[in-house]
């Protein structure tokens, strides 16, 4: 993505410099030619600026999407930390009161996959 932006900017600057240098070498006898050249340079710069702006917009959208994912992951992590702290507080309270600490809920039992069949070595 950055490479496209750099290439577009380089091409735009090269074209702009080339057209400016050419116009400076041979001053046109006709003022309409100078006007047309100025229009062409202006159009090239405008087009290059649009390409760069579009690339920046696309990059900003990608950054926003990544930030949204990070925020969701952070929120999930904060919820897990909060739940763990709540459990710890309950256990500490139970210990202070001389009660048995509440046990955590049982974890679901995963079915063990059968061991792979061993084939005799040749």
| DSSP for 8-68, written as a single string | HHHHHHHHHHHHHHHHHHS--SSHHHHHHHHHHHHHHHHHHHHHHHHHHHHHHHHHHHHHH
Length of the chain, in residues: 122
Determine what percent of the chain is predicted with pLDDT higher than 90. Answer: 40
Residue 77 lies in a domain: no
Residue 116 lies in a domain: no
Residue 113 lies in a domain: no
- At 65-106, the pLDDT tens digits run 999 999 999 999 999 999 999 999 988 888 888 876 556 665
Number of domains in the chain: 1
pLDDT of residue 103: 63
pLDDT of residue 75: 92
pTM: 0.42
> What span, in angstroms and rounded, lies between the C-alpha atoms of 82 and 85?
5
pLDDT of residue 99: 74
Residue 87 lies in a domain: no
Residue 24 lies in a domain: yes
pLDDT of residue 22: 58
Residue 31 lies in a domain: yes
- At 10-21, the pLDDT tens digits run 666 666 766 665
Residue 29 lies in a domain: yes
Range of the domain at 67: 2-71
């Amino acid at each position: 993505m950055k490479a496209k932006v750099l290439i577009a900017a380089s091409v735009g600057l090269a074209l702009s410099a080339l057209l400016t240098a050419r116009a400076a070498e041979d001053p046109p006898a006709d003022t309409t030619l100078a006007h047309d050249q100025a229009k062409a340079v202006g159009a090239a710069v405008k087009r290059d600026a649009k390409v760069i702006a579009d690339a920046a917009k696309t990059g900003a959208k990608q950054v926003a999407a990544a930030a949204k994912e990070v925020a969701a992951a952070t929120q999930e992590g904060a919820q897990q930390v909060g739940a763990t702290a709540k459990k710890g507080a309950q256990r500490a309270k139970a210990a202070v009161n001389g009660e048995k600490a509440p046990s955590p809920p049982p974890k679901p039992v995963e079915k063990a996959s059968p061991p792979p069949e061993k084939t005799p070595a040749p």
